[in-house]
Structure formats: C-alpha cells, structure tokens
C-alpha cells in the first residue's frame, strides 16, 4: 500500500542557507502535518494543512513556512538555517473524515543536518 513519501531522505545545508522539504501524502488523504524531532527528543508539531489551507499551527519558527498544493503534496520551506534546526522532519497525512478512527500515518522523515 502507498505510504507517505518524503524527500529528500537526507539533506546537508550550511548555516544561513535555505532548505525545502517535500511531502507526498497517501492518495485521497486531505490533511498533512509536519513534525520536528530533534536528537533524542520527542516529535514536536509544527503546522498542518487541510484542503490546502493552514489548519493548525504549533511551534514553527517564523523562518519556516509551509504550504499544501492542489495535488495535496506539501512543502516545508526553511530559511536562514541555524545549527539548531538540525533534526528529523516528519510529515504525516490523514483523511479528515476517518481521522478519528485511524489517526494518521507518518512518512520516514527527512534528516536535515545544518553545518
């Protein structure tokens, strides 16, 4: 079965550079969530989108922005990267109508290393 696809799997950037992470949700899933997991930390919710509109916002820095496109894929744009941005970034997707029963599915994550 198709899963949540994230790209790239690994990314190395220098400080002050920009990074773009992509997420392709499970087909027919209309909601996308982004989480950040620092080394040894629990995942922290960043932002979510439902039907291409931002639906909820968590601890996302102002340097980050995200959007969901017409094909439901989402991109997380990160500018002026800092060393502390090094983390695993997870995307998850769900179908709003069935979320209460099935929760959502995570992708394998993008490991961002800022040097």
Partner 1 sequence: SQELEQSPQSLIVQEGKNLTINCTSSKTLYGLYWYKQKYGEGLIFLMMLQKGGEEKSHEKITAKLDEKKQQSSLHITASQPSHAGIYLCGADNEGGSEKLVFGKGTKLTVNP
Reported as half-sphere exposure (CB side, CA atoms, 13 A), residue 55 has a value of 15
User: Which one, 31 or 74, has the nearer CB to partner 1?
Assistant: 31
Judged by phi (left if over 0) then psi (alpha if -120 to 50, else beta), residue 28 lies in left
C-alpha distances (whole Å) from 100 to each of 28, 45, 86 are 16, 18, 32
Q: Give me the helices (H) in the chain, please.
A: 99-102
- Interaction pattern, residues 8-37, with partner 1; x per rule: CB under 8 A: -----------------------x-x----
Region 53-72 residues binding partner 1, contact defined as CB under 8 A: 55-56, 58
Q: Are 102 and 94 in contact (CB under 8 A)?
A: yes
Nearest distance from residue 83's CB to partner 1, in Å?
A: 18
2 belongs to the binding site for partner 1 (CB under 8 A): no
User: Which one, 18 or 51, has the nearer CB to partner 1?
Assistant: 51
Residues forming contacts to partner 1 in the complex (CB under 8 A) are 31, 33, 41-45, 48, 55-56, 58, 88, 90, 92, 94, 96, 99-109, 111
């Amino acid at each position: 079965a198709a899963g949540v696809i994230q790209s790239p799997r690994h990314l190395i950037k220098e400080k002050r550079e920009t990074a773009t992470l992509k997420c392709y949700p499970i087909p027919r899933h209309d909601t996308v969530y982004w989480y950040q997991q620092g080394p040894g930390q629990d995942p922290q919710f960043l932002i979510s989108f439902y039907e291409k509109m931002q639906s909820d916002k968590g601890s996302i820095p102002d340097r980050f922005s995200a959007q969901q496109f017409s094909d439901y894929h989402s991109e997380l744009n990160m500018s002026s990267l800092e060393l502390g941005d090094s983390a695993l970034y997870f995307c998850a997707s769900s179908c709003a109508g069935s979320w209460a029963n099935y929760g959502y599915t995570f992708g394998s994550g993008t490991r961002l290393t800022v040097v």
